[in-house]
Every structure is written in C-alpha cells, then in structure tokens.
Amino acid sequence: MNLRRFNIERHLRNRMHTAWMLCSLVVVMVVPLLLFAGLAYKSLPLLSDHSVLSLIFSREWKPMSGHFGFYTFIISSLWVTVLALLIAAPVCLLTAIHLTQYARRWVLHLMHPVIDLLSGIPSVIIGVWGILVIVPAISKYVGPFFGKTVSGYSILAGSVVLAIMIIPFILNILIELFQNIPVELKEASLSLGATKWQTIKLVLIRKIMPGIVSSFALGMSRAFGETIAVLMVVGNVTQIPKSIFHPGYPLPALIANNYGEMLSVPLYDSALMLAALILFVIVICFHFLSRIVVIRSEKFQ
Amino acid sequence: MLMFCSTFIIAASLFLIFFSVIYTGMPYLSWEMITSTPKGGFYFGREGGISNAIIGSVYLSVGSTLLALLFGLPLALFMNVHLVRHKMLVNAIRFVMDLLWGVPSIVYGAFGFTIMVFFGIRASLLAGIITVTLFIIPIMVRGIDEVLHSVPHGLLESAYSLGSTKSETAYRVFLKQSVPGVITAVLLSFGRAIGDAAAILFTTGYTDYIPTSLSQPTATLPLAIFFQLSSPIPEVRERAYAAAVILIFIILFISIITRYFSRKYQGNKINF
C-alpha cells in the first residue's frame, strides 16, 4: 500500500517536473518572436510615415523636425565593424595556428585561462582601458605619425577596442576547428613531402575554410551590436567619417545615448526602436548566413 | 615568428587591460569608497563612495541568475533527457539559443524598455532583473547543455532500466553527474550579468541610494563607471576608476572559483 502511494507520488512529481520543463522551453522559445514583435510594434508609427529604404538611405538626422535618416550611423557601424574584423582576423588565425600546430602543450594550457578571462571582461572595463590607453596613444603617437592632429576619440580607437572584445570569441572557435581536423589528413600531406607550412596553408586551412568564414561572420555580428565600450571611445559625432581618425557614431551608440530624451520628442522612441530592430535583423541574418556556410560545406564533403 | 607575436599580443593585451585599470584605480580604492553612498548626487557630489552600485549590482545579478536558473536548468535537462531521441528538435533549440546569445544586449535593453512602457512600470530593479534574465538564459542553457551532452548514453538507459522516471533520471542522475559543469555555467552567466551595461541602461536607471524594494531604480557597477567617467569633476571620475577596479576583482574572483569548482568536483563523476 505504502509502495503504491510512493509510486503515485513519484509519477505525479515526474508529471510536474515535465510540465515545468515544457513550460520553460515554450517561454524561452517565444523570446525571439517577442523581441521581434515588440520592437516592430514600437517602430510601426515611424514606418507608417516613411518607407524603410528612405529611412536607411537618408542622411538627415533631425529628430526635432521629424527627420530620421540612419545612413550616417549605419556607415559608421560598418567602418568600425569591418576595421575591427581586419585587426582581429589575422591575429586570431595566426594565434590559432601557433597554439595548435607549433606551440608546446603547456602554452595552450596557459593560454586557455587567458582567453577565458579576456572574454569575461565586461565591456565597460574595456571601454575604460580604451580611454586610458588607446585614445591617448592614438592622439600622441599614431596620429602624428601620419601627420595629423587628432583627438584620439575616433573610428580607429573604437575598432581596436572592438577587436579586443571579439578576439577571444573567434579564437575559441578557431582553436576548436583546428583541433578537430583528423590527424591522418596532416600525416598524409606530410608523407607526400609537403613542408609543415605548406600542409597548414594548403591542406588544413582549406579543409576548415567554411568554419573560418563562419567564425568571422559570427565575430562580426558580435562586433556590430557591441555598445558601451565603443560608445566610450568612438567620439559620437553625427557625420560620415572620412578617415579612420575621424569620430563616428555607430548604431548601438545612438540607441544608448538618446534613451533619456526619446520620450519627449514625437516619433523619437519609434526611431530608436527601429534602430534596435535593424540591429536585431542584421545579427540574425549573420547567424543564418554562417550556419548556411557550414551546412553547405558539410554536404559538399 | 609572426604567429608567436600574435599570441603574445593577445596575452599582453589582457595584462595591459588589467594593469592599466588597476594601476589607475587602486589609489582611490579605500574603505570609505566601498562602504558609503555618494553624497550630493553621483554626478556632481565630491564626497562619498560607491556602495550603492556594489550592492545594486549584487542584487541585480543574483536575482537574474536565480531567475535564469529556474528556466535554464529544466530546459537544458529537458533537451538532454526527454528529447534525446528528437535530434532535429534539439538542434533547432540549440540554434535558437546561439541566435539569442548573439543578439546584442542593447537590443534586450530596448526590448525591456518597450515592455516597461507597455505595462507602465518605471525603471526599476525588477525590470532590470527581467531584462538581464532574458539576456543570460541562452548563455546558461548552452553552458549546461554542453556538459549534459557529454553524459554517456548508457547512464540514461541504466537509470530507466532501474525503473526511474524521466524527471528522476534528469535531476538525480544527469544533474548529479554534471554538477561542476553546471556550476561553471551558472558562474559564467553571473559574470555576464554583473558586467553588462547596455541591457540595464534603460531598465534599471541609476540612483544614489541602496534599493529597498523591487520597484525602485538601482545603481549598478558598470553604469557607475560609465556615468561617472564622463563627469567633469575629478573626484567623481576617481569613483569610476575605483568601481572599475572592484568590477575587475569580482570578475577575477568568479573566474578563480569557477576553476576551483571544476577541479574539485571531478570526483563525483561515474566513469565508464
């Protein structure tokens, strides 16, 4: 009798737990839809007045008179992101090759906590570091080197800071990719008389090329949405940057800087939510792209 | 040679970040700084410390980590025990999690703000906790999922053959088997929660006081750094530097106990 009650209790508990698990699954799965719906709902008032294309390609940003053109901000974002990727990509690739092919084991063991720590540093701290080190370095050394007087708060500072933030992210993926290459592939290449560098360049990198591209795409999407660290060093001037020493004003910085006044100006909040929606859509596109690259290459092999 | 240089650059930049921030902030770190709230406004007042931000940050991140654990742990167990036969579905969930992980925190912040406006709540601790929870759930789920994924399949079958129900298998076998990994994942998301600024910029607000209820705005360390660093008054900027040092120490501390846990509880594992 007691055993039976015990069993009933167990199965009831099982039902309860399963129900809660299902519930949390549904809640979490609904989040992306909610994100999209919420942001789209808030940006509708603006979209009903102007078309999306005219908003994206218009240069005029005058919230007081109802002109919301995102072109300047999108271009700034692209500058910062692409430059950050240009800095981070070679460093990551070389480091990954070094750690997995050339270095001794203990170097990799030593670098693991370093990478973990680097990826765990809050973006505000990296921003503080940018202000303390990168910005003065640019205005004192890098700017004069190219014969310019600059304040240091520039696209370049923003992308250096961003590069530091996406390096651990890309590097982790790359190290994993290199470690998962079958050893036979490397041995076959070496036995055919290829040098180590030839093996790496012509066999290993070619083998994981889709993975590398997809990791760069993910790093880029991460860089695109990074807010606080960039905001602190990039200068925030509404203009289309002419060189990397000019200040810029990326999209996330725009959202973060104007939240205080957005409720007092008509349509302003709608415009900022549209900016967030653009960010969201771009990041999701990048994720799908990188996934497609990986899946297609798997089919191909 | 170039490769060695790039490895060195990465390691060096980590130490440069730590060194420059700690070097600048350390002189301003005092007992008074840690234990007193700012006097005369956080932006203009020259006196006082940052205890409001420290305590606010702890409230916020503990609250949101617990809330995320409430949803994240069952979800990860569900994926690895109940849905273990539905590979496609689990992979789809993983993809959505990766996607959510990639969504910038400022988007979560903006979304949290929309919800707040929709329900008519002011910037408050509660709104911040909810936003940060949404932000760290994917990190936690992916972390826990990764460890649970490595639990051998035979364990599942032996648990079933002994007559245990699915949820018993999940909580008593799978969870126990991967406790260190779960703790690591939870600490990792705690670190993210305490360090993120963009998601709480709209939602928690900022104040000089220590919050006493969920509906009050709350100061947090990242925002304490961000706001006070832009102040023209040097004494206020000193507070920002001190806050940066404290934040770095917290992150370092979390990372050290993470390593400690993942070493210590290796012994509980059943090895095949």
| Chain B, nearest residue to A270 by Cα | B114
Choose the mutation target among A11, A24, A106, A126 for the interface with B, i.e. most B CBs under 10 Å: A24
| Chain B, nearest residue to A279 by Cα | B107
On whether residue B150 sits in a domain, the answer given is yes
The total number of structural domains in chain B stands at 1
On whether residue B97 sits in a domain, the answer given is yes
On whether residue B123 sits in a domain, the answer given is yes
The per-residue pLDDT for range B87-105, each reduced to its tens digit, is 889 989 999 998 998 898 8
- Region of A274 please: left (phi>0), alpha (psi -120 to 50) or beta: alpha
pTM for the whole thing?
0.87
Question: Does A197 contact chain B (CB < 8 Å)?
Answer: no
Residues 222-261 of B with CB under 8 A from A: 222, 225-226, 229, 240-241, 244, 247-248, 251-252, 254-255, 259
Most confident of A194-208, B132-146, B218-232: B132-146
The per-residue pLDDT for range A120-133, each reduced to its tens digit, is 889 899 999 998 88
A-B CB pairs within 8 A amount to 236
Nearest to B251 among A122, A228, A276 (CB): A122
Please give the Cα distance from A59 to A278 (Å, whole number). 16
Question: Does A133 contact chain B (CB < 8 Å)?
Answer: yes
On whether residue B246 sits in a domain, the answer given is no
Domain containing residue B140: 60-200+251-266
How far from the centroid of its chain's Cα atoms is residue A283's Cα? 8
Residues of chain A where predicted confidence (pLDDT) is lower than 70: 1, 260-263, 300-301
Q: What are the tokens at A248?
A: 């810029």
**List of chain A residues whose C-beta atoms are within 8 Å of the C-beta of residue B204:** none
Query: Residue A301 has what pLDDT?
Result: 61
Q: What are the tokens at B167?
A: 């949820």
Nearest to A122 among B71, B104, B195 (CB): B195
Query: Residue A106 has what pLDDT?
Result: 86
Query: Residue B201 has what pLDDT?
Result: 84
Which residues touch B7 (CB under 8 Å, ≥6 apart)? A94, A95, A98, A99, A103, A107, A111
Mean pLDDT, chain B, integer: 85
CA dihedral B74, B61, A128, B201 (to 10 degrees): 100
On whether residue B226 sits in a domain, the answer given is no
Please give the Cα distance from B249 to B256 (Å, whole number). 10
- Does the pLDDT at position B268 exceed 60? no
Residues 166-205 of B with CB under 8 A from A: 166-168, 170-171, 188, 191-192, 194-198, 201-202
Q: Which CATH architecture describes the domain A70-300?
A: Orthogonal Bundle (1.10)
Is the Cβ–Cβ distance between B24 and B92 less than 8 Å?
no
Q: Which CATH number goes with the domain that contains B122? A: 1.10.3720.10
Question: Does A25 contact chain B (CB < 8 Å)?
Answer: yes
What is the residue extent of each domain of chain A? Answer: 2-49, 70-300
